[in-house]
Amino acid sequence: MKYERFMKISKVTLGQEKADLVLKNAEVVDVFTEETHRADVAVCDGIIAGIGSYYEGKEEIDLKGMYLMPGFMDAHLHLESTMVTPNELVSLAAAHGTTTFIVDPHEAANVSGTAGIDYILDQTEGSPANVYVMMPSCVPATEFDDNGCELTAEKMAPYLNNPRILGLGEVMNDPGVVYGDRSLHEKLSLFEEKISDGHAPFLPSDELSAYALAGIRTDHECTDYEYAMEEVRRGIHVHIREGSAAHNLEAIVKGIVKHNTPTDCFSFCTDDKHIEDILRDGHIGYNVKKAIELGLSPLKAIKMATVNTARCYGLRHLGALAPGYQADMVVMDSLEKPNIKAVFFKGKRIDPEKKPEIKACPKELKETVHLTKLKEEDFRLPVNGNRVHIIELDPSQISTKHREKALRDTENYIPANGLNKIAAVERHRGTGMIGIGICSRYGIENGAVASSVSHDSHNIIVVGDNDRDMALAVNAVIEAKGGYSLVEKGKVYDILPLPVMGLMSEAGYEEVSEKLERMIKKAHSMGISDDVDPFITLSFLALPVIPEIRITPRGLLDTVEFKLIK
């Protein structure tokens, strides 16, 4: 702290001047000692000036014994995946208690390169929360991706001195790390003095050790307790993910509770969480509440949502209630069954009723779908041979199973018996590439769903039970310059336009949420199981860094052996 600021705040600390704000009679949650104690908390210039019983404030609020804790921190998320503009998401999640976001804008970077990263930085400048950015590491994610831009170490270097850039984003190309891809290791070396996030699902023991050896210090891809412990033993900080698509919290927290595992190396993240889920359930506060319901000590759960993340990323001024820490605070009525009553950012109370500002997007970021309309015959899929390869969905995870099934030879496969046709259409450079395959456990009947949100290259992905409706669904997305579409029996039921890089809408979260809810309800009525999100689940079926099989514009990809399937 600079001398002049210290002299100003210390007068409040010493009781010589009134604080800007004093929260009286708070049950203060101490994340250092894992205890609570009754005290007043004084705030000056956005900083906690002191905790005691002798402070007077220009404004005083009597908490009457309610619990006061640090603002929550999301250790890893992609703002683009919420489909609303970045400031909207941050503002809404902040009102639900999350005051710090560690953002990885690799969705925007895969579409628009550094212009996409600059968009995220500009949009969140001045948001009512701390928004830090990890530099996307894998743009493209693998050699099999056909995305919009390439991000090299040379292009990353100018961002090193930006105080909001904390390090290198999730390194998804784990074979490149383990077996020494030079260009990838150049990026790791560039951020050697910062922190590098991981993305390492299901690595064998020796490869996981090599992954850690390269300097990877976090991972959010653990789906069970046993693998999480393998990572922790190698010095990797585990971000426990609970978002809209991937639900890993229960499995990992149950293991922590059962084995009484120390929690210093665990944090919470959402990765991808949509607005309607935040409005219904909350944000990181939901993770805290669920962990407590599973038997985790409330104080440990709060630490995992606050100081653990702050320490992981070297944010020494965040994550705790103590003199000199930023006054980001959450008021709750209970520890065992917590409900958020108020949120403060830099000592200012966040108004949950305030409408978030929608900031204008540069025109060029709304012209990212470079594709002519498709025809029904573009989705023909001949079957020649006794067995075909099937993408089998796992409704509760983003992983898939690689199955094989005997089908009759045909010049064009027509989906039946619970199977659907799936395709990925390249949309960045107009190459005309379309990969087509078969998937199971999606279940749509008499229609199709298409989306330009298709991790991580964000080509257009479509699934349906007939070629006509698949073509209609893709063409609706093209016409909208990106978005979600739903087609039934030869007619477009509805479309959610996402013209900002084909990922986000400027229409406002109310309209996005209302339309999405209607489309999801309709999709489920068309045969999609209630435990499958029609759009989020679909968006991950092209992600080539998650086992076991995916669809790409080049065709089916075995993501265990990393080879295209003929």
Q: Spell out the domain ranges in the chain.
A: 3-65, 76-260+271-291, 364-564
- Residue 375: how many CB atoms within 10 A of its CB? 11
Evaluate whether 312 touches 322 at the Cβ level (below 8 Å): no
**Residue 397, pLDDT score:** 76
Q: Which residues of 122-147 are buried (b: 16+ CB within 10 A; e: fewer)?
A: ebbeebbbbbbbbbbbbbbbbebbbb
Q: What is the pLDDT of residues 117-171, one digit of tens each?
A: 999 999 999 999 999 999 999 999 888 999 999 999 999 999 999 999 999 999 9
Q: What is the pLDDT of residues 410-434, one digit of tens each?
A: 999 999 999 999 999 999 999 999 9
**Residue 512, pLDDT score:** 92
Supply the CATH classification number for the domain 3-65.
2.30.40.10
**Residue 244, pLDDT score:** 80
Task: Please state the separation of Cα 286 from the chain's center in Å.
Answer: 15
Here the tokens at position 484 are 């979600």
d(Cα 88, Cα 277) in Å, to the nearest integer?
Answer: 14
Which one-letter amino acid corresponds to residue 335? L
Measured N-to-C along each axis, helices 114-124 and 86-95 cross at an angle, to the nearest 10 degrees, of: 40
Which one-letter amino acid corresponds to residue 278? I
Which one-letter amino acid corresponds to residue 503? L
Evaluate whether 422 touches 438 at the Cβ level (below 8 Å): yes
d(Cα 186, Cα 546) in Å, to the nearest integer?
Answer: 24
Low-confidence ranges of the chain (pLDDT < 50): none
**Residue 41, pLDDT score:** 98
The three state secondary structure string of 452-503 is CCCCCCCCEEEEECCHHHHHHHHHHHHHCCCEEEEEECCEEEEEEECCECCC
Find, among 133, 195, 148, 144, the residue nearest to 173 by Cα: 144
DSSP 159: G
**Residue found under tokens 């009457």:** 64
**Residue 246, pLDDT score:** 82
**Residue 202, pLDDT score:** 85
**Residue 477, pLDDT score:** 98
**Residue 523, pLDDT score:** 98
**Residue 54, pLDDT score:** 85
**Residue 274, pLDDT score:** 83
Which residues are CB-neighbours of 163 under 8 A, at least 6 positions away? none
Q: What is the pLDDT of residues 32-85, one digit of tens each?
A: 999 999 999 999 999 999 999 889 999 999 999 999 999 999 999 999 988 999
**Residue 398, pLDDT score:** 81
76-260+271-291: same fold as 3-65? no
**Residue 531, pLDDT score:** 86
Find, among 465, 455, 470, the residue nearest to 539 by Cα: 455
Superfamily of domain 76-260+271-291: Metal-dependent hydrolases (3.20.20.140)
State the chain's maximal CA–CA distance in angstroms: 87
